[in-house]
Structure 1
């Protein structure tokens, strides 16, 4: 007799500043029926929550067996995970009783809301690195902003009131970390350095700098681009020194859209960490790149349902 397979699926929703991603995920971490929607189009309607509800209802027509939905949101949530408090990329979600709105519209479903970096960290824990991640690690996403999370003994750390470990918003060189090493911060750093760079570079001097071009140029051994990412690593490393000291976590996983620059950022991070931290930390330090890529948020959102 063939074993009975568990085919239960959960709807994962990764709400981001650029796209809202949806997919049905099974317990093996396989994504089914994936769709992506432009966030700007939903915002332009003036009823973002209404579009979200309508889309969920439509997606569930062909997945009537799905009754649990996990949603990752790019910002701060109430401690009971019912209400988005500060969502910088989609401010119209601020203080909306989202869990109530969703439950009223779809009473047959159970909804679980979480910060998107927390969800992505959970996705990495469950599905990435061939099961080799330790039970305790810190997760940092480099993208439009800087997201961060910590998993401690396989549980998401949420802090005293539900929004701990906002690494992107700690002070950094007269500003804050996200401002300096988020996507726009990296572009700004390169733009400021380019006019005085005395050598040839693959970065055009007569065009706006792009993060993608910096990554591609660095991979093609462009010295200027590699220097920019080394300094980005130094700045991020200063933030990670604080994280490591406060949390006593030495396994760090770097993800997000700009993690493609990981090999060029890593040396700057290591330089600063070894400069400021004693061997108690540095002897155990592990810096690795996340393996789920753009699927981490969606898989993590769906896996919020697993614990239920």
Structure 2
């Protein structure tokens, strides 16, 4: 059985994993991004980290890398990486191939990689076409069309988090973690009822999510609003691509049961029965391992 190395690069951590051709995560290592950046640039640190991993797993010949941001159409270089700015505008593939000439590398946007991983290794039966939405620090989007990643005209299509919502902000600004926190702080200011959020000290998105899961009224109202914005994003994506299966992943997806009602209301308000009669919306199955397994699944792409 062939093994691959999946590298999930994030603003907080660089996660590495040994993944089998069956999609099983055999081993995982996590490196704090800020620690890696203390002595070297992110690119220099990435070369070192991959070297350490290849030394541990000498049988690995293919490495897949997921990166949060826009990439060149040929998938050799990064363009804009808001969460890792010093890795932007870097010839990542050229540097890695020079350092490890015997290794085959693949690089892709992290949401695209996660969608591909779900396509190959989901515990549920997957269609040939689906839209994938990740809800986390940001809001990412991807599309598998005819069993392949849809990349758009210049390689960076389906940036669903940057669709403009009805309030004039992007979807990500509304329902990414910063958006959820901002909504909580604004709502709390004029709130006259009781809420556990008032007693939580310095708020963050995790605390708002926890409060909503404990059925705090104010927190649940916030996620009612989150559902509306998610519904708007789904309406736009379905209208543009005419794809009726939506898979939702990412850390914030654990609150999906809190957003469903308002999400579906928005969907049924704006989509005709042609779309809604066979619309399927469900959670991704790979959960927290989606980044690593998705990155490794890039190795299945023909060279």
Instruction: Output the TM-score relative to the length of structure 1.
Output: 0.94
* Contact kept? 1:11, 1:302, Cα under 8 Å: yes
Residue pairs, 1:143-158, within 5 angstroms: 143-158=136-151
Once the 2 structures are TM-superposed, how far is the Cα of residue 206 of structure 1 from its aligned partner?
A: 6.4
Instruction: Give the CA deviation at 1:84.
Output: 0.6
Q: Specify every segment of 5 or more residues in structure 2 that has no aligned partner in the other structure, as ranges.
A: none
Partner SS for 1:238: helix
Shift of 1:114: 0.2
Q: CA deviation at 1:189?
A: 0.4
The CA distance in 2 between the partners of 1:274 and 1:252, in whole Å, is 15
Contact 2:200 2:207 in 1 (8 A): no
For residue 160 of structure 2, the aligned residue among 167, 175, 195 is 167
Structure 2 equivalent of residue 211 of structure 1? 205
Distance in 2 (CA, whole Å) between partners of 1:297 and 1:108 is: 24
Aligned to 1:139: 132
The alpha carbon displacement at 1:214 in A equals 2.0
- The answer to whether structure 1 residue 276 and structure 2 residue 277 are counterparts is no
Shift of 1:42: 2.0
Runs of 4+, deviation exceeding 6 Å: none
Aligned match of 1:20 in 11, 14, 17? Answer: 14
Match 2:194 to one of 179, 196, 200: 200
In 1, distance between residues paired with 2:188 and 2:244? 34
Distance in 2 between residues matched to 1:12 and 1:148, nearest whole Å: 20
Q: State the shift of 1:184 in Å.
A: 0.4
1:129-171 residue CA offsets vs partner (Å, 9 max, x unmatched): x232222111100111110001112111101111000011122
Query: In the alignment, is residue 78 of structure 1 matched against residue 92 of structure 2?
Result: no
Cα distance in structure 1, aligned partners of 2:277 and 2:183: 31
* Superposition deviation, residue 190 in structure 1: 1.0
Measured against aligned partners, the alpha-carbon deviations of 1:77-134 in whole angstroms (never above 9, x if no partner) come to 1111000111111111111111000000000101000000000001111112x23222
Residue 123 (1) aligns with residue 149 (2):
no
Equivalenced residue count is 301
Q: TM-score scaled to structure 2, two decimals? A: 0.96
Instruction: Give distance in 2, aligned partners of 1:206 and 1:60.
Output: 44
CA distance in 1, matches of 2:175, 2:80: 21
Maintained 8 Å contact 1:195/1:205: no
Q: Bigger CA drift: 197-206 or 18-27?
A: 197-206
Output aligned runs, 1:3-18, within 5 Å: 6=1, 8-18=2-12
